[in-house]
Amino acid sequence: MMIENLSLVDKDSPILTTKSSLIKQCSSLELTELSGAMLELMRKLGGVGLACPQIGLNIRMFVMSSPVHSGSVFHKDRICINPVLESWNLQHEERIESCLSLPDTCVNIARPEKIMVSYYDNKWNYHTEDLEGINARIFQHELDHLDGILITRYNDNIFSRTG
């Protein structure tokens, strides 16, 4: 697995619209190195999430950094391997989303406000969490990437950042 010099694939790359494969249990060291490099690239690019297809890997893994306001901690990093959206509420909220893979595109997307999710972390620990608000939105956006769905699929409300 090539971890040095990670970069985003071209916005027209077919991997961005291809469903990703489940990760079979592999070395947690490899996953730790990959997730660390992904978090670094995500922060460098000013994002809050990054999925493996965006860097050319067709595997079901993403990283996300959620806002947290607890003492001196301002964000919580999550490494999500083989993530699943287990359940969601029927109340949706519309918000504008952008994407590192499509930097000049913004889309107004309605998503469930509260969700229950499951995933494995980079040490193969299993997690279930209730997420809401921005954390739920980031998780759903990154999960879309793993299913080959870009924000432009929600094409009723697309507009350009550049005017």
Q: Catalytic residues, which ones?
A: 142
Tell which residue, 9, 133, 135, has the closest CA to residue 83: 135
Q: Residue 130 in 3-state DSSP?
A: strand
Distance CA 18, CA 54 (A): 11
* Residue 1, SS3 per DSSP: coil
Give the Cβ contact number of residue 70 at 10 Å. Answer: 7
AA letter at 10 = D
> For residue 103, how many other CB atoms are within 10 A of its CB?
14
